[in-house]
Structure 1
Amino acid sequence: MTFKPQRGLTEPAADAAIDQACRMLRLPTLRNQFAAISDAADREQLTYRGFLAELLMAECEDRQRRRSERRIKAAGFPREKWLTDFDFSANPGINPAVIHTLAKGDWVKNGHPLCLIGDSGTGKSHLLIALGAAAAMAGYRVKYVLAAKLVNELVEAADELVLNKTIARYGRVDLLCIDELGYMELDKRGADLLFQVLTEREEKASVAIASNESFGGWTKTFTEPRLCAAIVDRLTFNGAIIETGTESYRLAHTRARQAAEPS
């Protein structure tokens, strides 16, 4: 089919045609930014090809941004946390280079696990959410959940005879972020159900956990020794272990602020 340009269109008619065409083709960014990009093209004396490239790149970049926003929302993070907001100087035990390497997402691509271990206030949940957000921005499907909430959901699913469906749903995401693992003791049934989720994902899709207990203390959560050992094995094999320490930088920050305030 030979392209035949329209001739004799007035500027208002051309603008109306562009607006209508963008609506039909579902190009909202091009429709919204066409005038500004057109004016810039005139000032910079872009070629027709250059002008078209600017329009298409603007549409592609905005679509990528919207996809990322949808993945972030679908992940269910309780709050926004980004690596750019993390204060590495407040916790010198955490190696920034290791964290920024993890942010590239190769571990998610390879289906490897990640364990963030440390006391409250040491930044492990911040890093869990921030690395999960980085994975979502990179195009991976991510789901965040509290350990207690996940176990409760699995127990309810088992009672309602939809356990396989629930486990499969958690198995489909590229990265499952489980926060606050170790804050509560699980009965054998709850621990068994959590183990099934981990087994479903083993060596296929990544799991990242944040825990206030070292592995040696996990017997408080998983009271059956064999099951505890199996869960630790699944969460550490080929994985990265980041220890965030025992000194709460939130508490230190509060004390420093109070000390600086006039009495």
Structure 2
Amino acid sequence: MTPIESAPINGPSTPGQASLYQQLRGHLATLKLHDAAEHLPAVLDAAHTEGLSLTAALERLLAIEVDATEARRLAGRLRFASLPTPATLADFDYDAAPGVDRHLIDELATGRYLESATNILLIGPPGVGKTHLAVGLARAAAQAGYRTYFTTAADLAAIEGRWATTMRFFAGPTCLVIDELGYLPLPAEAASALFQVVSQRYLKTSIILTSNRGVGSWGEVLGDTTVAAALLDRLLHRSVVLNLDGDSYRLRAHHARGEALRAATTGTRQPLR
């Protein structure tokens, strides 16, 4: 280490040092390193008290700017993603969904499936956690640096007639979540819109799709067995299919509230029946 690198960095205690300090702040501001400029006094103090080398102090200062930049970028990706809930994979109730392979979800959380444009299909009755998993996986993708967007089948289908301004948008995100396919019947033009989006993304980018209907019923959902077959052909070519089952989260919450009320009334009045 050179003498300059090993020399301690002191705060601006003399006019010359104060001038140099202001120049340094000015350089950081010109380069738009605003977080580094804000934390410069603290880093200089730490360098002095801890005896940091010039290299170590510079690394600490730039690390602050890098962390702040990454935080801003993540916040931007999450705003763009338009996730409907704050759900994460960490707070998913695996005990209530014994059919869900936790190791598989952990693997999907790494985002490696996005590199091969693999799709994820989450299929099961209402309330078993499909949307929770879809949101959690989308959040994990955004946190890993991937551009992500969440929509519903009904909203996506409404783009019919506006292809010039919307098709490029839906083709763009690396991870596109399409929620609630099958909850509402889709007219023919809506099924066509959905097919166009899936075709545009085929073998290029990933789709996470949730549905309360098994794939054998998608001809009925889309109102056209030919379109359904072509859609499934593209979705299933590279895919992970998770079938969820069990009681609805809302039904379990209702039962839990009932049990809590029974426990609260025991000993003071007749138990609820």
Inter-partner Cα distance in structure 1 for 2:34 and 2:93:
38
The answer on whether the counterparts of 2:148 and 2:176 sit within 8 Å (CA) in structure 1 is yes
**Corresponding residue for 2:167?**
167
**Corresponding residue for 2:96?**
90
Deviation at 1:220, TM superposition (A): 2.9
- Structure 1 segments unaligned to the other structure (5+ residues): 1-5
Using the TM superposition, name which of 211-220 and 186-195 deviates more: 211-220
The answer on whether the counterparts of 1:71 and 1:136 sit within 8 Å (CA) in structure 2 is yes
Deviation at 1:218, TM superposition (A): 1.8
Q: Deviations over 1:47-104 (max 9, x none)?
A: 1111111111121122111111101101111222211222222222211111111011
Inter-partner Cα distance in structure 1 for 2:13 and 2:63:
27
Select the residue among 121, 124, 128 that pairs with 1:122.
Answer: 128
The 3-state SS of whatever aligns with 2:244 is strand
The 3-state SS of whatever aligns with 2:100 is coil
1:47 and 2:53 correspond: yes
Structure 2-normalised TM-score?
Answer: 0.86
The answer on whether the counterparts of 2:173 and 2:205 sit within 8 Å (CA) in structure 1 is yes
- The number of aligned residues is 252
1:183 and 2:180 correspond: no
State which structure, 1 or 2, has the greater radius of gyration over its C-alpha atoms: 2
Inter-partner Cα distance in structure 1 for 2:101 and 2:77:
27
**Corresponding residue for 1:106?**
112
**Corresponding residue for 1:65?**
71
Distance change in 2, residues 1:16/1:203 (3 Å): same
Distance change in 2, residues 1:81/1:11 (3 Å): farther
Percent of matched pairs sharing the same residue: 32
Inter-partner Cα distance in structure 1 for 2:43 and 2:132:
39
Using the TM superposition, name which of 233-242 and 15-24 deviates more: 15-24
Inter-partner Cα distance in structure 2 for 1:93 and 1:43:
56
Deviation at 1:19, TM superposition (A): 3.2
Inter-partner Cα distance in structure 2 for 1:41 and 1:110:
46
The answer on whether the counterparts of 2:122 and 2:241 sit within 8 Å (CA) in structure 1 is yes
Select the residue among 37, 48, 56 that pairs with 2:43.
Answer: 37
Deviation at 1:18, TM superposition (A): 3.6
Task: Supply the RMSD in Å over aligned alpha carbons.
Answer: 2.0
Inter-partner Cα distance in structure 1 for 2:72 and 2:94:
30
Deviation at 1:253, TM superposition (A): 2.9
Using the TM superposition, name which of 20-29 and 203-212 deviates more: 20-29
One-letter code of the match for 1:75? Answer: A
Q: Deviations over 1:26-52 (max 9, x none)?
A: 012112222223333333321111111
Inter-partner Cα distance in structure 1 for 2:205 and 2:59:
37
**Corresponding residue for 1:192?**
192
Inter-partner Cα distance in structure 1 for 2:217 and 2:246:
14
Query: Which structure ranks higher in relative contact order (CA pairs < 8 Å, sequence separation ≥ 6)?
Result: 1
The answer on whether the counterparts of 1:91 and 1:249 sit within 8 Å (CA) in structure 2 is no
- Structure 2 segments unaligned to the other structure (5+ residues): 1-11, 266-273
The 3-state SS of whatever aligns with 2:179 is strand
Inter-partner Cα distance in structure 2 for 1:246 and 1:218:
22
One-letter code of the match for 2:46? Answer: A
The 3-state SS of whatever aligns with 2:122 is strand
